[in-house]
Amino acid sequence: MIRVLVVRNDKIGDFMLAWPALAMLKASSDCEITALVPGYTRPLAELCPSIDRVIEDPGKNAERAAQRALLQQLEAGHFDAVICLFSNFRNARLMWRAGIRQRWAPATKLAQLLYNHRVTQRRSRSAKPEYEYNLDLVRAFLSHNGMPVMEPSAPYLHFEGAELANFRLEQAKRLGIDAARPWLLVHAGSGGSANNLSPGQYAELIGRLRQSFPEAQPVLTAGPGEQALARQVVEELDEGAVVAEDLPLPDFCRLLACGGLFVAGSTGPLHIAAALDVPTVGFFPLRRSATPLRWRPLNSEGRHLAFHPPAGAEVEDMSQVQVAEVAAAVTPWAREYLS
């Protein structure tokens, strides 16, 4: 069995966009896949059906003893290959010091000199989705090693029906809402990533969608530090919306799986919902490194709508997104999911 280490030790959204590459690697080869991830994405990695083992990266600012322990773990893994989906000098040096024979990464930056298998990608041009760049790296690895390529498909994360039904009932009781109604999930936080709509814009959008879908139950989701923002959206609405907070990350994923529709900015929860193939509406700035194309979620065809500031607006100015136009576009598309 080939032992492969896959490195994606950056943000949650970036890690979720590695799931198609992980699925391809698992389906195409008799590989044991170990993922190197930071502590905050470890619970997600442990949910991933394509990952066999997880190694937690203490991060670049950890004490020297923790850094040594990480290197020892990598050496003890006796990996045949590493695929660095996220490459920087620290990762490159770490894989080189661990003595991993095949070291794969994008051919960018000075760090590429420490890899012996490089794929030219020009990610800075944002010519295609991030997950496609990750797939290209895995395709190159498989081709080099004479393995057939099996293309993956959504959903990449799945919960069994009975488990999810019980969880939905538990959450409905906890939140004081009706489990039988379709849930309109809205995430107003940004997690410090791309700019997002304002609470007022989200409240207006929810209000307009409720006019078209009176049965839809609005649920504001919130991660750590985002509760106040979610409550602000609820306060701007007349009544009926609730805030789902303080959920462990695996349960947060289960909550997203309960959604009829998920609405958010370009942030980690959007990509988790898309990995579940819950229909998504995403808001993106027009900065080249953050466009709807570059950070397209993992939904299957037809289950994602993207919006951005209009032409001529400042690329980061999400206040220029016209909520009335968004609601008009979403309403006929979402009828299948919220009715």
Question: The CATH number of the domain where 54 resides is what?
Answer: 3.40.50.2000
**Residue 190, pLDDT score:** 82
Is the residue at 181 inside a domain? yes
Distance CA 284, CA 208 (A): 20
CB 296 within 8 A of CB 266: no
Same domain, 119 and 11: yes
**Residue 194, pLDDT score:** 66
DSSP state of 85: S
Confidence of residue 112 (pLDDT cuts 50, 70, 90): confident
Same domain, 6 and 47: yes
Same domain, 12 and 124: yes
- Boundary of a domain, candidates 84, 115, 144: 144
Same domain, 304 and 206: yes
Confidence of residue 193 (pLDDT cuts 50, 70, 90): low
- Give the chain's count of helices (H) and strands (E): 12, 12
Q: H helices within 48-187, ranges in order?
A: 64-76, 89-97, 130-144, 161-175
Structure tokens at 274: 């898309």
Same domain, 184 and 240: yes
Q: Is the pTM of this model over 0.75?
A: yes
Same domain, 185 and 302: yes
Confidence of residue 331 (pLDDT cuts 50, 70, 90): very high
Same domain, 72 and 187: no
Is the residue at 295 inside a domain? yes
- Boundary of a domain, candidates 87, 115, 144: 144
Structure tokens at 202: 């989200």
Distance CA 133, CA 122 (A): 9
Is the residue at 252 inside a domain? yes
When pLDDT is averaged across residues 63-83 and rounded to a whole number, the result is 98
Same domain, 209 and 320: yes
Q: Select from 22, 14, 131, 23 the least CA-distant residue to 83.
A: 22
Confidence of residue 111 (pLDDT cuts 50, 70, 90): confident
Is the residue at 153 inside a domain? no
Q: How many domains does the chain have?
A: 2
pLDDT digits over 257-278, tens only?
999 999 999 999 999 999 999 9
Q: Coil, strand, or helix at residue 245?
A: coil
CA distances from 96 to 11, 81, 111, 181 (A): 23, 11, 11, 53
Residue in the structure block whose two tokens are 């012996």 = 116
Task: Give me the chain's average pLDDT, please.
Answer: 95
Distance CA 262, CA 304 (A): 10
Same domain, 140 and 218: no
Is the residue at 137 inside a domain? yes
Burial class (CB in 10 A: 0-12, 13-18, 19+), 186: buried
Same domain, 48 and 123: yes
pLDDT digits over 214-256, tens only?
999 999 999 999 999 999 999 999 789 999 999 999 999 999 9
- Boundary of a domain, candidates 144, 176, 197: 144
Domain residue limits at 95: 2-144
Same domain, 117 and 230: no
**Residue 192, pLDDT score:** 63
CB 258 within 8 A of CB 171: yes
**Spatial CB neighbours of 153, under 8 Å, sequence gap ≥ 6:** 300
Q: Select from 338, 281, 273, 279 the least CA-distant residue to 307.
A: 281
CB 74 within 8 A of CB 5: yes
Is the residue at 280 inside a domain? yes
DSSP state of 21: H
Distance CA 81, CA 78 (A): 9
When pLDDT is averaged across residues 189-203 and rounded to a whole number, the result is 85
